[in-house]
Structure formats: structure tokens, C-alpha cells
Structure 1
Amino acid sequence: MGELRLSNFEFGEQFKRRTKAYSLRVIKLFQALPKDVEAQVLGKQLLRAAISVAANYRAACRARSKAEFAAKIGIALEEVDESLFWLEMLEEAGIVKSVLLTGLKQEADELTAILTTIRRNSARK
């Protein structure tokens, strides 16, 4: 019946933790990658993109203007999409088995959907 809604602050804090947890999961994946050149190059690209999602969302929460907020959310959205690309590359190059990436890819998809909604809703205000 009555849906419990988080305040904007509570949502922001929860989402900060979620994006940071995504980054930490990617760090663990990177640490487990083979040490060959291809795996390390793709892994470092993934690492940069995934960590940037959390960093830019955190920066958006501290934005001094609506324009700055929108810009940081846009960057976080681009970075989560890029991290999904690198996950796909690791899978399609045969470096990491698909089954090991399912959870991270699902989380990237969910983060993308949430950031898209945040961007859309912030544009309306």
C-alpha cells in the first residue's frame, strides 16, 4: 500500500555507497585478471571507468549549481556505460568467463538506468 520513499539525501547516500561498491567489485576483478598485456590494458580501462562512476556521482552530490550537477551526472553516466563496454571486451576476448561477469554487467545496467533517471528528473527541475 504505502510505499516507503527515501529523502533525496538518503537516496544520495545510498547511491554513493552503491557506486563505490561497484568500483570495489571491479578492483577485485582487476586483481584477479591474468597478467598478460591484453588483460591488463582492458582491465586498467575498466578500472578507470568504474572508479570514475563513483567519483563523479560523489562530485555531483557536492555540486554548487544545477548545471554542475547535470554535468557530473552526465559524466558518471558515460563512465558506467564505458565500464560496461570494457566488461564486454573482457568477455568477448575470452579473458574472463561470461558467468563471472554477469553480476557486474547487471549492476552496470542498473546504475545506467538509475543515472539516466536522475539526469532526466534533474532536467525537469
Structure 2
Amino acid sequence: MSGERDLRTLLSTMRPELNDGRYVFTSVRRDSVPAGVSPVVTVMEREGLTLVLPEHEAREAGLPHVFVAGWITLRVHSALDAVGLTAAVSLALTDVGISCNVIAGYHHDHLFVPYERAAEAVGVLESLAAE
């Protein structure tokens, strides 16, 4: 499966889904992911390994963290080389003042937005899909 590339199809079928929970960003040394931590995203950077994980796991592991987020999954299977989806979604959220961290997975795009505005963000994306 290579994923959808057509922007109109991507937008009209993106089906944003809010995952349960509160998620946070933290950074650890490359070789020091604490036991009991199950990140939903990892990104290797020069400065360390970025983890996005449930807030309660970060607290239990004693990890300092920032940006409490809601996690939205766009259920459409987007191609990794599709053009415009990230820009369209980001613009729609920008227009209502919602920050967004986008992470592309192999099958889906994942958005991390301020937790207190996550339901609103889903509504914005559903409106975008309906246009």
C-alpha cells in the first residue's frame, strides 16, 4: 500500500480521530529510555532522544516534560510523498490560533495540539474535510 496522494481525497477522507489521554514531549540521552516508558513517538536528535509519551508515564518515570498535548490521528492512509496535507491542516489550525506538531507515520499523520483545545482542533479538521 503506497497511500493516497491526491490532496482533495486526502482532505475529504482524513477522518481526524482524537486518541484518549494527555501526551507530553521530553528528551533523554540516546541510551537511557527509562523502564516502563512506552513512547508513541521517538525522534533521534543530536541533543538526545525526543520521546512523546503519555503524561502519567513521564511523571512516574520522573522525566521533565513540556507541552501537554492531545493526539489526533488522521485516519486516511497518506503517502509519505503526498503534497499539501500538512500545509492545509496546519493552515486551518493556524487560522483559529491552535499550534500543531505534525509527525508522519508510515500509514497516518499524527497531530499533537494543546490538550485543552484538542476537541476544538478535531472540529476544525472535520469542517476542513467537509469543504
With structure 1 as the length reference, what TM-score do the two structures score? 0.26
Higher helix share: 1
Higher strand share: 2
RCO higher in structure (CA 8 A, sep ≥6) = 2
With structure 2 as the length reference, what TM-score do the two structures score? 0.26
